[in-house]
Amino acid sequence: MKISFLLHNAYGIGGTITTTFNLAQALADRHDVEIVSVLRHRERPNHTLDPRVALRPLVDLRQEKDHPLHQRPAKVFPVAEYRYHQYSELTDRRIGEALAATDAEVVIGTRPGLNVHLARQAPEHVLRVGQEHLTLDNHPPRLRTALRRAYRRLDVLTTVTEADAAAYRRKMRLPGVRVEALPNSVPDPALPAADGTAKVIVAAGRLVPVKRYDLLIEAFATVAAAHPDWQLRIYGKGEEHTRLRRLIERLGLSDNALLMGAAAPMEAEWVKGSIGATAANFEPFGMTIVEAMRCGLPVVSTDCPYGPAEIIEDGADGRLVPVGDRDALAAALLDLVRDDDLRRRMGRTALDNARRFGPVPVVEQAERLIEAAATARRTGRPPAPPEPARLRRALAGHGFAARDAAYAAASAARRTIRGGKR
């Protein structure tokens, strides 16, 4: 099967690019895979792309930034979409031409505006899969209206959390569209897992206000006061860098709290730590949480919408604390700093539980979704219902093996029901 991803800019940096590269690489084991990048602004991607995955840009900004059509506003890409100002009549035309000429059986859009292109312009033979990497509630009302109209033409819509999938089913009402949660995947670690002995707390991500690195630094000040031999290392770059540097200096943490800059890949940095941390107000998924856990780190996280609670089992492989609560965050970090046995035990559990986000289980789930949608289209039958929400909630926090067994049992039960035996 040939699978094509439609991506905003494969040459940039960001979570959607990372997870698209990860999924494309995993699918390339059994399929012909390409990434179509709408924009290109440099010679090579920042992230390493598997050589089995073809990469094809549509608009090269190095030569076409001043193209006359690129000076005219886009008409297909929705106006209310965050990236609208980067799209134009030229991108409309190139995306439409690429979709019309595609020889892929499946095309996967990776952001709302591109999902609209896919829904409106893909040929009839193409299976249309839209991905949501943010959340429905994060979109302005005008964009939700545009999506409700266009998304009815999709075959599948995936979200990165169960909570967001439920929101789409409840609020958007897309008849005939299979709406399922498909988590982001993280490649199998290449390095030995952290052993929990390093006196280092690691955080990573864009240095932007919503990530609340200021709160994390303030909470860490309590840790450093009691345990001055511990460090906080924050990896990433962004608009908050100067403000965070000043906060570190004001709190007298210059020797303990370090702004490390961006690092790619992050695996080599995660394994140098013993605890992962995030203090975000909002997290559509929580890619860095999974990355840390896959390297054997328990993660202390705010219990923010939507992702952390679907990744972390509180008290088993990490800790969840109220959003914005500096004291609770400091207390949770201190619990792990002070208790070597607890920290190492939770690290081992994190490593085990995070296997469900590895390439194999995520790709198998993606393939099942595609196959189910293809069957529904071929037979004219509506798509099978998703796993019951109550089952998925009950499974939250359980290990990979328990989830696998429960999903298998649920699938068998649905087959029995469809077969008329119950």
pLDDT in tens, 363-376: 999 999 999 999 98
Give the C-alpha distances (Å, rounded to integers) separating 108 from 52, 114, 238, 400.
18, 9, 29, 27
pLDDT 10s digits, 77-123: 999 999 999 999 999 999 999 999 999 999 999 999 999 999 999 99
- Work out whether the CA dihedral 203, 206, 207, 213 comes out positive or negative: negative
Model confidence band, residue 247 (pLDDT cutoffs 50, 70, 90): very high
Pair (139, 245) in one structural domain:
no
pLDDT of 22: 92
Q: What's the structural domain count of the chain?
A: 3
Quick one: pLDDT band at residue 382, thresholds 50, 70, 90? low
What is the phi/psi pair of residue 266, to 5°? -85, -15
- Weakest mean pLDDT among 86-90, 168-172, 313-317, 405-409: 405-409
Same-domain status, 13 and 147: yes
Same domain, 16 and 148: yes
**Which domain-ending residue is among 313, 338, 357?**
357
- Does 190 fall in a domain? no
Same-domain status, 214 and 270: yes
Residues 119 and 248 in one domain: no
**Considering the domain boundaries, does residue 108 fall inside one?**
yes
Q: Which of 357, 382, 412 is the last residue of a domain?
A: 357
In 254-325, alpha helices (H): 267-270, 287-294, 308-311
What pLDDT digit, counting tens, does each position of 173-212 carry?
999 899 999 999 988 999 999 999 999 999 999 999 999 9
- Please indicate, yes or no, whether residues 303 and 167 belong to a single structural domain of this protein: no
Looking at 181, 213, 236, which one is the last position of a domain?
181
Spatial CB neighbours of 395, under 8 Å, sequence gap ≥ 6: 402, 403, 406, 407
The answer as to whether 365 is a domain residue is no
Residue 367 resides in a domain = no
In a domain, 383, yes or no: no
Structural domain containing residue 305: 200-357
**Residues 174, 321: one domain?**
no
State the pLDDT confidence band at 415, using cuts at 50, 70 and 90: very low
Gyration radius of the chain over CA positions: 22
The rounded mean pLDDT for the chain is 90
Contact 370, 323 (CB under 8 A): no
Q: Does some domain include residue 380?
A: no
Task: Calculate mean pLDDT across residues 4-27.
Answer: 93
pLDDT class of 47 with cuts at 50, 70, 90 = confident
* Residue at 146 is within a domain: yes
165 and 247 share one domain? no
Strands 200-204 and 275-278: parallel
What global pTM score does this model have? 0.84
Examine the domain organization and report whether 152 and 222 are in the same domain. no
**Is there a domain that residue 373 lies in?**
no
Cβ atoms of 284 and 164 within 8 Å: the answer is yes
pLDDT at 386 over 70: no
CA-to-CA distance for 145 and 49, rounded, in angstroms? 35
Same domain as 297, residue 349: yes
Could you tell me the pLDDT band of residue 389, with boundaries at 50, 70 and 90? very low
CATH number, residue 151: 3.40.50.2000
> Do residues 334 and 233 both lie within one domain?
yes
Residue 337: pLDDT band (50, 70, 90) is very high
What percentage of the chain has pLDDT greater than the value 70? 90
Question: Are 91 and 221 contained in the same domain?
Answer: no
